[in-house]
Structure formats: C-alpha cells, structure tokens
Amino acid sequence: MSPDKSKDTQTASKAWWKEAAVYQTHASFLQASFCDHADSGHGTLRGMLSRIPYFKQLGIDIIWLSPIYRSPQADMGYDISDYRAVDPRYGTMQDWENVRDAIHEQGMKLVMDLVVNHTSDQQHEWFKESRSSRTNPKRDWYIWRPPRYSAAGERLPPNNWSPTFGSKSAWEWDEATQEYYLHLFLKEQPDLNWENPEVRKEIWAMMHWWLEKGVDGFRMDVINFIAKSPGLPDAPKVFPDKEYQPFGRLSINRPEVHHYLKEMHREVLQVALTSGVGETPGDGPVFEYAPYSIPSNKELQMVFHFHHQSFDRKGGGLGRTWNPDWKLVDFKSLLNNWQVKMEEAGGWNSNYIENHDQPRIVSRLTSDHPLDRAKCAKLISMLHTTLTGTLFIFQGEEIGMVNLPREWGEEEYKDVETVQHIAEERENRQRTAGEEDPNMIDLLEGMRMTARDNGRTPMQWDATENAGFSKGTPWMRVHDDYQEWNVAKQMADGSSVWAFWKKMLSLRKEYQALIYGTFHPLDESNENIYVYTRHDPCLSQTLLIVLNLARGPQGRGEPTSWDSKKWNVDLRGARLLMTNRDVALGAQDQGNGDVMELEPWEGRIYLLSSH
C-alpha cells in the first residue's frame, strides 16, 4: 500500500489474517516443549487443551501447531510417515479434535504445518513402494537417479549437492535398486517429485481432508524448495575445499514453484477459502519472494523469509557461526529492506523475530543480564508488534525466555543440526590438530548464541518441578531460571513482560496504522537507535517508534539521545502511547524540547498530532 492509497483500496486490502496475532507452539514439535498433561516428558495434545484459555487471555487469534503427524522423529516431526494420522506420543485424533473445538469455541483459528517437500523414508508407505523396485508405480514419486562414475571407476552421486544439514552428499545410495535418491535435508527425509502430477493430486487430497476436519489454514514448510532445476546440474563451487556444495538456486525459488502454488491455490486454497503461509528460506532479493504473496498472483497469503535472521552470523548467511561484532545498522538494514520493499511490491510478510529454528531474541539483540532482561523483553515487544506483516509470536517470547545457560555442556543439545555440526567440527579438529579430545569451548559459545535448541527448551508455566511442563522427565532440560521466569508469576504481576505483551497486542489492534500503515525508517545509519514511523492517512494516524538498542561494555545497555527535529518529526501535541520505563502514559513526553534523552534499553511509541 502506497502513502496515497484510497480508502476503498485500503478496505479491499484488509483481511483477518493480516490483523491476527499468531502463536506458534511446540505442543507438537520436537517431542514437544509446550505442555505435557501427564508424565511422558514431551508435550501432548491433551496438555495443550488445558492451555487454550491462556491464548485468549494473552490476545491471540490463531494457533499454529507444528507437526503432530505420525513420525519416527528423525527430524523431530518434520519427517512424516502418515499425513492423516496423529503420532501416538502426542495423543489421538480425538485429542486433536478436542483441541480444534476448544480453539474454535474461543473464537480463534487453527493453522497446521504442511511438510510436503519431503516425507519420512522407510516408514512412509509412498517411499516404501517407491524404493521396492524401479518399476513400482510410485518410483517416480521421489527423485531417483543412477550413479556417476569417476575415471577410476569409483561410484559417485548424481551431482555435487550437499544437504541443508551436514556437509556430505544430498544423495543416498539404495543398494537394492542400485540408484540414489535425493534428500535436501536428512537421509531419512527423501524429497518428493513435484513434477509428477500424481504427487500433487495426492497432496491436494490430503489438504482437503484436513480442511474438512476443521483446519483454518496451513503453514508450509520450505515450500520454495519443492521445484528442482531441470537436469539437476552440479552446484557452483562456493567452498573450494569441500567436495559437496550448497544447492542454492538450483532448488530455491525456482520459476516452476509458482506453477505448483498456483495449482494449489486453484485446487485447494481458493476452493476452501483458506490461507497459506509459505516458509521461504534463501538469500535472494525481495522481488524473488514478493510474488508468492501478491494477491493477483493467486498463490499464498504471506511469506516467512529468513533474511533478518542473519544479522549476527559470520558471512551474513544462515549458518551457525556467531559474529559477536554484529552491527545494529546491519540488523536495521535487513528489516527496513523487507518492510519497505515488500509493501512496494504489493506482497505481505510474516512478522516474526523468534521461532523454532532460531535462538531467543532477547539474548541475541539486547541483553539477558538479570538487571536488563525484563526491560529488554518489553523493548523487543515494542519492536515486534510495530512492524508490518501478520504477527507471529513464538512460544515463550511473551515471558522473555532466553538462550541456554552458558554453563550447559554439549550433551544438553538435542537438535540434529547442532549434533552433526559439533561432531563434524570435532572430527575436523582431531584430524588437523592431531588431538583426540580437542578443545570445543569456542564452538559451544557459538552454539549458545546460534543453535536452534536455544528456542526449544520446555515452556515455563510455573515454579513447580519441571516448570509445570511435565510430571515426568522432560525430553530436554528445563531452563535453570524457571522459578523466577514463568507464566504464573508474570500473569499475577501487572508490570511483567507478559502483561506488557498483552498491552502491546491490544495497542496494535487499537491503532491499525501499526498493521496497514506505511513503514518509514528514519536515521538509518544510527548505531544506537532504531526509529521509524507507521503512517496511514485513511485512519489519520501517524505513530513514531523510538527504540534505544545501544550496547555498551559486556553487552549492557547505554543511555543515548535522539533529535527529532533533525529528522523533521514534529513532537508538538504528540501523545505517549507506550513505553517500557516507569512514567505515566497519555501526556506529551518529549524530553528536552526536540531532543529525547533515552535510558538504556528504553523504547517509546508516540501518536503524532495531525496539525
């Protein structure tokens, strides 16, 4: 939406899913970190059922369930063996139906994960048939290729692609049929062949089956990976010292994926009048991602890109190598680029800063020091809720959960990506340094800032044993801070992080310029402050957001100032709507004239006068 949009255009562009607050739970994810109703040690559907009123109290509109399907759990639920069955570790289909009904009774909606780039290997019936012989009717449901051979007669994979996890080949040899199958993730996750119309037809049928059961939409896992480059050529050699290379654009954002998604829209989403959220990893420019969510293209409603998650990684990518010298201007540039250019292109973002694949943002962007943590978590809430795009809140974000304690050893990390990374690095150090037990302290410090497990510790409900998550032994260790940082304690405290989040969710709906208004970044080169406005002339609303993200020694915050006049921001008559410091709201509060004096980690949101 451009600044001169008409009221009619604005009204037509409104949609319930744009205004919604979505809550991602681990109720079904990686043996589950949300709530266990008994003593299994991992979350269950019945455990989640007991917490449905909690979402309503917070101000949530949509619940996103990560995979609950039957799975051998090689990748914690993202390796599905039966798309139409609930995994027994989470409960029964009746349990799922009870959760669905409770969500709908509270006036909320339910979104399910759709994982259709790949399935489980030996435990999915499709792959069992595909693997049984080269002549099986389902052989072409997956991507099989014969081997190549070196000049010396050595058998080689069909190309040089490496998988997303690990640095070896993305191809797995099948001795029985004497061919390789492709897996862009684990070898237990063979890729489906989307070129086969029978595969797509079966996926559409499965989606309709869930929609008929009452699902309100789908979040689609790595949906921009489903199309592969014709001929499956070798990937460019970007790592000269490695045999296998990232597949990159040979299987990310291929032109063919848009053909498949248009068909999905025509056959499923349009018919059911439902929504689709596309997870779209990769490092391409905004214009490659916008088409997925431009309404006239008739594909998806929004995209879940990863670009802003690279701000504290070496090389600017999505690897797990931490860059302790990251710059605020780089973080702002990444966010600003997507906030501005996605709107200009007519697309729509999924607005998230934490999820199951990323560390906790309080630890990454601000400070998890005990004296800073609450104020920083509130500052993060002010940032998150004032960005453009459908709001996605990750489990525990609303109580300020943080990364794993620095004292924890590598045995506490459960994620397959991290385990593989540590094993490969240990092997490399053993080989290059000749040490049987190399020092891994630096690697673990990096994992403490980048590993996916940082966001996967069990939800902290109260101060009882295991944080009220389970009466059994949790699948993953509960964070050591749970007695101080938990839902029960914060819900009873009107000044808590949880209470602040509740106010911010309400503020976002009251001032819808925060949803539909144009995003204007200010003072983009400032290394201490993040400042922007959200402007909607149709609503006669302009909001100014000022966030002090200045970091001092040891990562603690520092005071700073901001001159509003320098950026042509008129504070006369401005009303302070929200701040994370202890002052009265409502009145004008602009400090010394045009210059704001900001405390460490202070944030302010103003409604500017229209004079």
Q: Locate tokens 């917070």: which residue? A: 58
Query: What is the CATH number for 540?
Result: 2.60.40.1180
- Residue 279 annotated among the catalytic residues of the structure: yes
Q: Is residue 272 part of a domain?
A: no
Average pLDDT of the chain to the nearest whole number: 91
530 and 465 inside one domain: no
Give a yes or no: residue 266 inside a domain: no
pLDDT tens, 327-368? 999 999 999 999 999 999 999 999 999 988 889 999 999 999
Q: Which of 158, 182, 206 is the last residue of a domain?
A: 182
* Residues 368 and 474 reside in one and the same domain: yes
Identify whether residues 425 and 480 lie together within a single domain: no
For residues 324-356, one letter each, b for 16 or more C-beta atoms within 10 angstroms of the residue's C-beta and e for the rest, the string is eebebbbbbbbbbebbbebbeebbbbbbbbbbb
Catalytic one among 121, 172, 188, 279? Answer: 279
The 10s digit of each residue's pLDDT in 135-155 is 999 999 999 999 999 999 999
pLDDT at 202 over 90: yes
**Pair (469, 359) in one structural domain:** yes
Do 533 and 421 reside in the same domain of the chain? no
Determine which one of 221, 397, 415, 481 is catalytic.
221
Q: How many whole angstroms separate alpha carbon 528 and alpha carbon 438? A: 39
Would you say 344 and 290 are in contact if contact means Cβ atoms under 8 Å apart?
no
CATH code of the domain containing 486: 3.20.20.80
User: Are 388 and 492 in a shared domain?
Assistant: yes
In this structure, how many other beta carbons lie within 10 angstroms of the beta carbon of residue 11? Answer: 10
- My answer on whether 535 and 503 are in the same domain is no
In a domain, 198, yes or no: no
- To the query of whether residue 216 is one of the catalytic residues in this protein, the response is no
Which phi and psi (to 5°) does residue 72 adopt? -75, -5
- How distant, in Å, are the alpha carbons of 117, 147, 209 from that of 96? 24, 44, 14
Sheet containing 217-220: give its strands across: 302-305, 275-280, 217-220, 109-114, 62-65, 21-25, 390-394, 350-351
Say how many domains are in the chain: 4
Based on the fold, state whether residues 384 and 458 are members of the same structural domain: yes
CA dist 210 and 223 (Å) reads 18
Is residue 506 domain-shared with residue 364, that is, in the same domain? yes
The pLDDT of residue 285 is above 50: yes
Domain enclosing residue 441, as ranges:
406-450
Verify that 542 and 571 share a domain, yes or no.
yes
Q: Do the domain assignments include residue 575?
A: yes
Looking up residue 158, the CATH number of its domain turns out to be 3.90.400.10
Mean pLDDT of 87-92: 91
Domain boundary among 474, 494, 510: 510
Position 161 in a domain: yes
In a domain, 4, yes or no: no
| Distance from the Cα of residue 144 to its chain's centroid | 31
Contact criterion met (CB below 8 Å) for 138 and 126: yes
Distances 93 to 85, 90, 210 between C-alpha atoms, Å: 7, 10, 12
Establish if 246 belongs to a structural domain. Answer: no
Q: Are residues 442 and 580 in the same domain?
A: no
What distance in Å separates the CA atoms of residue 21 and residue 586, rounded to the nearest whole number?
A: 25
Last residue of a domain, one of 182, 197, 213: 182
Q: What is the pLDDT of residue 341?
A: 97
The string of pLDDT tens digits covering residues 568-596 is 999 999 999 999 998 777 655 544 468 99
Whether residue 460 sits in one domain with residue 418: no
> Higher confidence at residue 319 or residue 459?
459
Half-sphere exposure of 377 (CA within 13 A, CB side): 26
Distance between CA atoms of residues 478 and 467, nearest Å: 7
Does the residue 426 lie in any domain?
yes
